[in-house]
Amino acid sequence: MNRQPVFFLSHGGGPWPWLEGEFRRSFDWLEASLKALPAQLPEPPTAVLAVSGHWEEPGFAVSTAAEPDMVYDYSGFPEHTYHIRYPAPGSPAVAERVVKLAAEAGIPVARDPQRGFDHGTFSMLQPIYPQADVPVVSLSMRQDYDPAAHLALGRALAPLRDEGVLIIGSGFSYHNLRLFDERAFEPSAGFDAWLRHALIDLPPEERAAAMLRWSTAPFARVAHAREDHLVPLFVAVGAAGDDPATCVYSEARMRGGITASSYRFGQDTTPTGFDLIAERVAA
């Protein structure tokens, strides 16, 4: 079995794949990048392990349900978006493997048989696997957001990659809902430039060290006043080990103001060597 890459994906806003109109169109480039993801894998994954920026617990937890429910963790959207389903199965076996690998590294992970798919998981996966035919297991963040703890968990779970499991950190490279317009252009671009340098240009050990001090980066606390949408990246970087990073999505002036990006960690196995880097700048 070939080693799967690891991804950190900007997942978009709310239940956007089920919407129409201008809000949906603002995620066109992101949607294209997500649809392109399966072609970048060496083979179809046996399961997806999703670390969502919308699930945090006092300690790490993993979903163990065979048929996960839905978590409609948003407000102000049309009524039909509170009835949508992403009917992918869970994988109790993969969940148990997560618990075992983490325990071997001295990291406790609780089992949660009730946790369903939040929008950081189902909105991200809908364009990638619209048939919902790949088992999905959710992994929580720890609510202290400690970068070292999340890097360590990612390292502990890296063997899953050789077992066919696709690890995805689902967050947003910029997440400040109070500054999500043209005023965000400078801070989001500044933080994004630092992030791209840290992930792509630095050697693996320095890349991990940069995650520990992320809050000292340019515009860090403007881009992430609360770092819940950045923390999934720490798990991804830990699981990536020494693998190189590639920017697979980058868009300037998303929704009129922000720069957003997504990354793949691992050797390029894409048949055409294709990566979607959408540098869309408003006229």
For the stretch 63-97, pLDDT in tens is: 999 999 999 999 999 999 999 999 999 999 999 99
Tell me, what's the pLDDT at 176?
76
- Strands (E) in the chain, as ranges, are 6-10, 47-57, 60-63, 109-112, 136-142, 165-171, 245-254, 258-265
Span 187-207, mean pLDDT? 95
Regarding the domain delimited by 6-265, which CATH topology (the fold level of the hierarchy) does it fall under? Protocatechuate 4,5-dioxygenase; Chain B (3.40.830)
Length of the chain in terms of residues written:
283
With a cut of 50, say whether residue 281 has pLDDT above it.
no
Whether 282 has a pLDDT exceeding 50, the answer reads no
Residue 177: CB atoms within 10 Å: 9
Residue 268: predicted pLDDT? 64
Q: Find out whether 88 and 199 touch, Cβ atoms under 8 Å.
A: no
What local confidence, expressed as pLDDT, does residue 156 receive? Answer: 98
User: What's the pLDDT at 1?
Assistant: 81
Q: How many helices (H) and strands (E) in the chain?
A: 9, 8
The tokens for 248 are: 């697979």
In the chain, the amino acid numbered 267 is Q
Q: What is the mean pLDDT of residues 44-64?
A: 98
**Average pLDDT in the chain:** 92
The confidence score (pLDDT) of residue 14 equals 93
pTM of the shown model: 0.94
Residue 279: per-residue pLDDT: 52
H helical segments located in 92-196: 92-104, 119-128, 147-157, 185-196
From the number of C-beta atoms within 10 Å of its C-beta (0-12, 13-18, 19+), residue 251 rates as buried
pLDDT at res. 283: 35
Percent of the chain with pLDDT over 90: 81
